[in-house]
A and B are shown apart, each in its own frame.
Chain A
Amino acid sequence: MRAFLRFEWQRLFAEKKNLVFLGAIALFSGYFTWSGLAEFRQFQAEKDIFIRFEKEKASRIINYSQYGAYGFRLLYEAAPLNLFFINSSVLQDVESNIDSLEAIKIESSFKGKKLFLKRGYFKDFAGIPFIFGSLFMLYMGHLALVGPAYLRFMSRRMSLKKFYGLTTAARLFWLNLFFVFLGLVLFFLVRLGGVSFSGPERNVFLLYLLFLVLLLDFIYLLGQWITVLLRFRKIFFLWFFIVWFICIFMLPEFNRISVFNQSQFLESAEKVNLDKFRNLMALEQKFRDYLKVNPSTPLDQIRQMQKKFAVQFLNNSYLMNTSLETKYLRDVEKVIDGHEWQSVLFPTTFYQFLTGEASGKGFYGYLDFMEYIMRLRNRFMQFYMKNRYENNNSVIESFVKDDENIFHSSSRLPDTYWLGVLVTMLYGSILSLLAFKRLRCLVFLP
């Protein structure tokens, strides 16, 4: 094995074009990590201003009625690990406004600096090995076995199985080492840059690297298999590009279209808002009808009635609206769940799902955000109703304590992570066996 390791090191790293390609991968990965770090720092600065702004806004509000109408904003803060996956996120920079209105709003601002944040596809650390790494691995797989004449020569020295197995293992060892080393170096450089990662985040990153190398190994074995299948013909390059394009671009896109089609069965978010609005309006109509019937009601009695209706609202319409929202969220969760299971079926689709979740701005991050909004909104409504109708103090107390208006999302791995790993390994093993079987037929004619 040591002889193979030494020789494959020479084959891989004594070749100028390989070094240029690997250097470019390292450079681009470094550049996009640095760019992710800059965006992370900018977000932190913006976040401080956001917190100050919200505090100042709350202090300027005159009464609770106004506070209910304005509410407060809630900022989505991705985990620090997001800087490696900044463009793999499902969500962009988002925030929500929590007020006494019925619709839950999640929006993204494109104001000022944020206008220039928009990147093209795959332009982050996770995207570079995915695009360029996969292309490189496909090519490395193509070159691995050299050709039938060489294989015949070598199989006179040792068994074809041994040569095939050890060559593949040695090449994958060095190539995997490069990508793992690159990931770890960038991770530590980011730490040196002042970003601290929690223990679970470190684990997420390490497990992400594990899947990355498995994915790249799968692509390498795919390249090796296609080369053998096409009998080492030079026409391979056309196939080579087609296969790469299908794996990297088409299949993930088909997967996205498929989840979009599944989401068509979801009720429209506007419809949910409309239902909630109608529930609220029904209660308001009752209050107006009461005033019509009793036009000369004194002001303090109207206030008492308002309070009564508010309590009624909290106990009926609000609960109904919350259950509508929860049901809607569960329906979305089912679609996400289906999408996750569908992604597991192919390594590149699972990679996209994984990077989205590792970024902390994935589908499950969205669900957590929504649940956080609903919890906070629930508490805010109680706070608002209590203070509006019971508190006569003119001084407004802010609902937001500490950094409650910052939602800290966490980087996570999909629940299907290990299944995804197994499926990818299974694909790799099958490709490896198919390539060997075909290779044996090519070298040893019947």
Chain B
Amino acid sequence: MIQVRELSLECGDMFLDALSLDVANGEIYFLLNRLGQDSDLLFRVLSGFQKPAAGRILFDSRSQGEGPGVAFIDRVADVADFDTEARVGDWIDFLCATGLNRENIYKTLLVCNFHEQHLKKKFRELAPEIFNQVYLAACLAPDHGNIVINDFIRGAEKGFELKFNRLLLQQKAQGRAILCLGGDIIYASEIADRVGFVKNGHLLFDADAAELKDMDIKGLYLKLLN
């Protein structure tokens, strides 16, 4: 379970004022906001790389793995950002040697139809979609109870989006609390159980995704996100 209480933060012209929300186990919550930096800032705070001005974030103790009990999946803008010059297989071996569960990595890769031959390639030789599969597998390898995702499928091909959705639903079925950050209202209505809108630093709207389907999504987008 993910609990955010009175979270306030400010960075340049971006700010958030006393955000509170709960994501239950087995639920996908999509927090919609302006595209780009708003998500990045909130994600940095949630993942502990930036201190909030006030408030607190709690992740429940369902975790069986390492770390704070939460898997963070950030959007990687460029494959070169991960180019270690080693082969993908060697990188996975390294991660496993430092404590990641190899079985979980291969499970995720199997769901993504990842081909074995890619293990012999270097990161820079991978197509962005293949890279995302490896990255996702590494992120989900620890058996954490919560998942926070930052705008991960933006710009991805439909094929990858479907694989990702399948994975997400699998994780949800296993009882994990999933918080997604992003700006794609249509995607949010497809995948999420609940959706929240943040504008000008405030949580304006919080609804079930099912309700969203009955609403004028275009109108909502123009009103709340544009």
Whether the pair A7, B93 counts as a contact (CB closer than 8 A) is yes
Contact A156 B67 (CB under 8 A): yes
Q: Which residue of the partner chain, among B47, B76, B97, B135, contacts A6 with CB atoms under 8 Å?
A: B97
Chain A residues near B87 (CB, 8 Å)? 10, 14
A4, A150, A158, A445: which contacts B49 (Cβ < 8 A)? A445
Knowing A147-B81, A150-B81, say if A7 contacts B94 (CB, 8 Å): yes
Q: How far is the CA of A18 from the CA of B84 in the complex (A)?
A: 13
- Given contacts A156-B72, A444-B50, whether A3 and B97 have CB atoms under 8 Å apart is yes
User: Among the listed B83, B93, B138, B139, which residue makes an inter-chain contact with A146, where contact means beta carbons less than 8 Å apart?
Assistant: B83
- B49, A443: Cβ atoms under 8 Å? yes
**B81 in contact with A2 (CB, 8 Å):** no
Question: A18 contacts which chain B residues (CB < 8 A)?
Answer: 85
Give the residues in chain B near A446, CB-CB below 8 Å. Answer: 50-51
B27 at the interface (CB under 8 A from A): no
Please determine whether B91 and A7 come into contact, CB atoms closer than 8 angstroms: yes
Find residues 4-52 in chain A having any chain B CB closer than 8 Å to their own CB. 4, 6-7, 10-12, 14-15, 18
* Contact mask for chain B residues 98-115; partner A; CB cutoff 8 A; 1 contact, 0 none: 111000000000000000
Taking the complex as formed, is B95 at the interface, i.e. its CB lies under 8 A from any CB of chain A?
A: yes
Q: Which residues of chain B come closer than 8 Å to A147, judged between CB atoms?
A: 80-82
Choose among B49, B77, B83 the residue with the greatest number of A CB atoms under 10 Å from its CB. Answer: B49
In the docked arrangement, what's the CA distance between A205 and B171, Å? 61
Cβ of B97 to closest chain A Cβ, rounded Å: 3
The answer to whether A10 touches B90 (Cβ under 8 A) is yes
Within 8 A of A (CB), among B43-68: 44, 47-51, 66-67
Residue in A443, A445, A446 with the greatest tally of chain B CB atoms within 10 Å = A445
For the complex, give the distance between the alpha carbons of A260 and B50 in Å: 54
Quick check: B84 and A444 within 8 Å, CB to CB?
Answer: no
Partner of B94, one of A6, A148, A149, A153: A6
Say whether, besides A14-B87, A443-B49, A444-B49, A149 and B100 are in contact (CB < 8 Å).
no
Whether A146 lies near B84 (C-beta < 8 A) is yes
Q: With A and B bound together, what is the CA distance between A133 and B98 in angstroms? A: 31
Instruction: Please name all residues of chain B whose beta carbon is closer than 8 Å to the beta carbon of A146 when the two chains form the complex.
Output: 81-84
Q: How far is the CB of B63 from chain A (nearest CB, A)?
A: 13
Name B104-159 residues within 8 Å CB distance of A: 122, 135, 138-139
**Cβ-based interface call for B217 (8 A):** no
Q: Which size class do A's interface residues fall under?
A: 20 to 34
Q: Is A143 at the interface (CB under 8 A from chain B)?
A: yes
Q: Is the CB of B91 within 8 A of A149?
A: no
Q: Which residues of A contact B95 (CB under 8 A)?
A: 157
Query: Which of A4, A149, A444 has the most B CB atoms < 10 Å from its CB?
Result: A149
Contact A157 B98 (CB under 8 A): yes
Say yes or no: A7-B100 contact (C-beta < 8 A), given A443-B49, A444-B50. no
In the bound complex, CA of A445 to CA of B90 (Å): 30
Specify which chain B residues have a CB less than 8 angstroms from the CB of A12 in the assembled complex. 85
Output the least CB separation between B193 and chain A (Å). Answer: 26
**Residue B74 at the chain A interface, CB threshold 8 Å:** yes
Residues of A within 8 A of B91 (CB): 7
Instruction: Check: A152 CB closer than 8 A to any chain B CB.
Output: yes
Q: For B67, what are the chain A residues with a Cβ–Cβ distance below 8 Å? A: 156-157
Residues of A within 8 A of B83 (CB): 146
Query: What residues of chain A have their CB less than 8 Å away from a CB belonging to chain B?
Result: 2-4, 6-7, 10-12, 14-15, 18, 143, 146-150, 152-153, 156-158, 443-446
- In addition to A10-B87, A11-B85, A157-B98, 9 A-B residue pairs with Cβ atoms within 8 Å of each other are A6-B94, A6-B97, A12-B85, A149-B77, A152-B49, A153-B138, A157-B95, A444-B49, A445-B11
Binding site for A on B (CB under 8 A): 11, 44, 47-51, 66-67, 72, 74, 76-77, 80-87, 90-91, 93-95, 97-100, 122, 135, 138-139
Can you report 21 residue pairs joining A to B where beta carbons are below 8 Å apart?
Answer: A4-B94, A7-B84, A7-B86, A7-B91, A7-B93, A10-B87, A10-B90, A11-B85, A14-B87, A15-B122, A146-B81, A147-B82, A149-B76, A150-B81, A156-B67, A157-B67, A157-B100, A444-B49, A444-B50, A445-B11, A445-B49
